[in-house]
Structure 1
Amino acid sequence: MKKVTAAGRNVEEAVQSGLQELQLTKDQVEITVVQEEYKGFLGIFGKKNAIVELKEKKNSVQEAKAYLEEIINTIAGPSEIVTEENKKTVCFHIKGEKAALLIGKRGQTLNALETLTQLVLNRGSGQYRQAVVDAENYRLKRREILDQLANRLAKQVSKTKKDVHLEPMPSGERKIIHDALAKHPNIKTFSTGEGRYRHLVISHKDSRKPKSG
């Protein structure tokens, strides 16, 4: 977090000097007036400049990025993280020669990094946002695999009318399958189980089993 002390003939001039040095805008900093300007006796004797302290405001995205960068540099060496954000989601795209090491079996390492990054992103923040951590375009590839799996299992359940329980997976991946089958005429999906055992069930709409969310 950047901080600077700046002086000027008045407070506003001191603030502008500090902003220029930090290369930030006024809404990105916290301003503390250390000393008001004093024009001195008869405008000559004892004259003092205004002094202000400018401190960069806490940026949760930058904090999460720095935290993630520290971890991945240990695992995969120097890597670049490109952030892409909107009101609800912040995506951290990891690029590097050994970025594939960060994926793990079925994305388990990537999912763990995502969980930790999300905790940092929302720590002390008044606005909750979802963190998405990606490497080697894994998320898109995984979505395609899950879409194919959903359609294949939907055909199976339509034919047999027997429920299919998938292995436990993160909420984001369960949602992909939920969405893929949301408009299917014969299929319903729901999640069951607690914590790391929570998993998706694909069921025929004729089944009387209650939907648990």
Structure 2
Amino acid sequence: MRNVTAAGRNVDEAVQSGLQELELTKDKVEITVIEEGNKGFLGIFGKKQAVVKLVEKIDPIQQAKAYLQTIAEAIAGKSDVTVQENKKSVSFHITGEKAALLIGKRGQTLNALETLTQLALNRYPGQYKNVTVDAENYRSKRKDTLSQLAIRLADQVLKTKKTVHLEPMPSSERKIIHDTLSGYDHQIKTYSMGEGENRHLVISHKR
């Protein structure tokens, strides 16, 4: 993080001088007053300038963005990362000529990037945000695919009365299937089984 020590005729002037040097606004820095300064006797004798230290505040989201972009470019070359933030979550979207390389089989690479980015973002105390990482609009396409799969398997269960176990998938993807089927048919129920990487969704018939 950047920092600067600045001086001025008073504290406000010293702060403004430091802000100009850092090219930041006041809300982006931590300010420590080192010397209040004084005008001296008759404005001449014992006159001291005010001295302040400005330290750029840590921006967890921008640090997480830079971290994600570094990894993305190591895998897929030149990449751009855009950020959308709301109160409880942050979405990072990666674009680039080879952004598809960041998806992996059934989104496994993208899921790993999402986990790493969430850890990077939430390593600072006092805040927690859910993180989504996307590339090539994969998340939206995957949601449509999972919703269609859920309905097809639910119809199969209704017809055969046999329970279906899906492959292991992240909680966010299990939720898509659960939400899709929550009001689909009162005879269908969904629940998760297994631990860790083997956690998967089960679709069964209410007997």
Alignment of 1:144-163 (within 5 A): 144-163=144-163
Q: Which residue of 2 aligns with 1:211?
A: none
- For 1:143 and 1:2, the matched residues in 2 are separated by 42
The more displaced of 158-167 and 19-28 is 19-28
Alignment of 1:52-63 (within 5 A): 52-63=52-63
Structure 2 stretches lacking a partner, 5+ long: none
- The TM-score with structure 2 as length reference comes to 0.94
For 2:195, the equivalent position in structure 1 comes to: 194
Secondary structure at the aligned position of 2:42 is classed as: coil
Q: Counterpart of 2:69?
A: 69
* Rounded Cα–Cα distance in structure 2 between residues aligned with 1:176 and 1:118: 20
- Please identify, of 130-139 and 182-191, the stretch whose mean Cα deviation from structure 2 is larger: 182-191
Aligned to 1:124: 124
How many positions carry a matched residue from both structures? 206
- Tell whether the 8 Å contact from 1:60 to 1:125 is kept in structure 2 after alignment: no
Aligned to 2:42: 42
Aligned partner of 2:201: which letter? L
State how far apart, in whole Å, the 1-side matches of 2:150 and 2:171 are. Answer: 15
Q: What is the aligned-residue RMSD (CA, Å)?
A: 1.4
Between the aligned partners of 2:192 and 2:21, the Cα distance in structure 1 is 53
| Partner Cα separation in structure 2 for residue 202 and residue 99 of structure 1 | 34
Q: Give structure 1 stretches of 5+ with no counterpart.
A: 207-213
Q: Which amino acid aligns with 1:79?
A: S
Matched residue, 1:17: 17
> Within 1, Cα distance between the matches of 2:125 and 2:132?
17
C-alpha displacement of 1:3:
2.2
Give, in whole Å, the separation in 2 of the partners of 1:57 and 1:205.
Answer: 55
CA deviation string 1:154-190 (max 9, x = no partner): 1111111211111000111111111111112221111
- TM-superposed deviation, 1:112: 0.5
Deviation at 1:16, TM superposition (A): 2.5
Counterparts of 1:162-177 in structure 2, within 5 Å, are 162-177=162-177
Amino acid paired to 1:143: K
Q: C-alpha distance in 2, partners of 1:173/1:153?
A: 15
**SS at 2:81 equivalent:** strand
Alignment deviations for residues 80-123 of structure 1 (CA, whole Å, 9 cap, x no partner)? 10000111111110011111111111111010010111111110
Structure 1 residue 20: Cα displacement: 3.6
SS at match of 2:159: helix
* Counterparts of 1:57 and 1:5, CA distance in 2: 15
The 1-side partners of 2:206 and 2:22 are apart by 60
* Displacement of 1:41: 2.9
Q: Which runs of 4+ in 1 moved over 4 A?
A: none
